[in-house]
């Protein structure tokens, strides 16, 4: 019994240190799309992140296919694509979490992490997106705006909705970030 208490005290002592190690940009908890369970973005520390605000009924929706291809091609090297469905532009993501998740999986085979529907523009911009905007100097102007975040969670590069996932510009930037250790 004494050793269990000592172990728990040791773990409790370590937890604040782990929380402090997470880059400030990733120090957010957001709900997962499929089950609304809380997801700490700190779990992606040390990964290259491509954060995208998505929508199911948009002219750019076919980018899901390219985003999934990027994820599959580079995930073993440390890339994580994270989708944040948003209904902010043209009401193009009106569905429930289940409808969005089913659409992404059945239509585009999406396996990359998808978070719950999120406000990415004012007045209700989520705290995570507020940080992305502040650090990159770029606001989403439509669905499928992309933010590429380096492994340290410090450098952010923004790409417009018009930048396709397979564009040389985006792929080159991803490969550059993946090469950085």
User: What is the model's pLDDT at position 181?
Assistant: 82
Domain ranges, ordered by start, for the chain: 23-179
What tens digit of pLDDT does each residue of 152-175 get?
A: 999 999 999 999 999 999 999 999
Pick the CATH number of 23-179 from 3.50.50.60, 3.30.70.1060, 1.20.1440.120, 3.40.30.10: 3.40.30.10
pTM of the predicted model as reported, rounded to 2 decimal places: 0.88
Q: What average pLDDT does the segment 147-154 reach? A: 96
Q: Is 42 a catalytic residue?
A: no
Element spanning 88, H or E: none
| 7 has pLDDT over 50 | no
User: What is the model's pLDDT at position 20?
Assistant: 55
What tens digit of pLDDT does each residue of 9-36 get?
A: 444 444 444 445 799 999 999 999 999 9
Q: Which of 164, 45, 181, 32 is nearest to 98 (CA)?
A: 32
Element spanning 117, H or E: none
- The Cβ of residue 107 has, within 10 Å, a number of other Cβ atoms equal to 13
User: What is the model's pLDDT at position 55?
Assistant: 98
| 94 has pLDDT over 60 | yes
Annotated catalytic residue, options 22, 42, 58, 104: 58
């Amino acid at each position: 019994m004494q050793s269990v208490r000592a172990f728990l005290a040791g773990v409790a002592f370590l937890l604040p240190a782990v929380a402090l190690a997470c880059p400030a940009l990733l120090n957010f908890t957001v709900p997962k799309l499929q089950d609304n369970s809380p997801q700490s973005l700190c779990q992606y520390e040390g990964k290259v992140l491509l954060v995208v605000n998505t929508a199911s009924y948009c002219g750019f929706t076919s980018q899901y296919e390219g985003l999934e291809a990027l994820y599959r091609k580079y995930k073993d090297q440390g890339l994580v694509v994270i989708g944040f469905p948003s209904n902010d532009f043209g009401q193009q993501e009106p569905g429930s979490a289940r409808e969005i998740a089913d659409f992404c999986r059945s239509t585009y085979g999406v396996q990359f992490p998808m978070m719950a529907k999120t406000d990415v523009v004012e007045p209700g911009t989520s705290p995570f997106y507020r940080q992305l905007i502040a650090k990159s100097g770029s606001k989403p102007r439509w669905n499928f705006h992309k933010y590429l975040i380096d492994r340290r969670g410090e450098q952010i590069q923004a790409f417009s909705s018009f930048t396709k996932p397979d564009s040389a510009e985006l792929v080159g930037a991803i490969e550059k970030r993946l090469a950085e250790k």
